[in-house]
Amino acid sequence: MSVMFDEIIYKTLDKIVEWCERYKNYKIKRSLPKATYDEQAKKDGLKKWVNQQETLINKNDTVNTGNTNTTNTK
């Protein structure tokens, strides 16, 4: 009977430790930007950044040359 009781205690403790480890990983993951662990979010973030950079370049071209069809090569 004592062996059975010990087995139940160990299994319970193992489950508690497992839950704590999962929760710790969840908290770490949630504190980081999504792009650090999600490939689709990383791709979307890169596309957004590229579009913003192109918009800035086009905006600077318009301001410097007045022509939206040319690329400013300073």
- For 54-73, the pLDDT digits (tens) are 888 887 776 666 555 555 55
Query: How wide is the angle at C-alpha 71 spanned by C-alphas 69 and 74, nearest 5°?
Result: 150
Average model confidence (pLDDT) across the chain: 82
Residues 45 and 74 in one domain: yes
Residues 46 and 74 in one domain: yes
Q: Provide the token pair at 49.
A: 């950044």
Residues 73 and 42 in one domain: yes
Residues 27 and 42 in one domain: no
According to DSSP H, which parts of the chain are helical? 2-31, 39-65
The number of angstroms, rounded, from the C-alpha of 73 to the middle of its chain's C-alpha atoms is 35
Is 34 within 8 Å of 41 (Cβ atoms)? Answer: yes
The total domain count for the chain is: 2
Query: How wide is the angle at C-alpha 35 spanned by C-alphas 34 and 36, nearest 5°?
Result: 90
Residues 24 and 42 in one domain: no
Q: Tell me which of 5 and 33 has the higher pLDDT.
A: 5
Model confidence at 11: pLDDT above 70: yes
Question: Whole domain around residue 72: which residue ranges?
Answer: 38-74
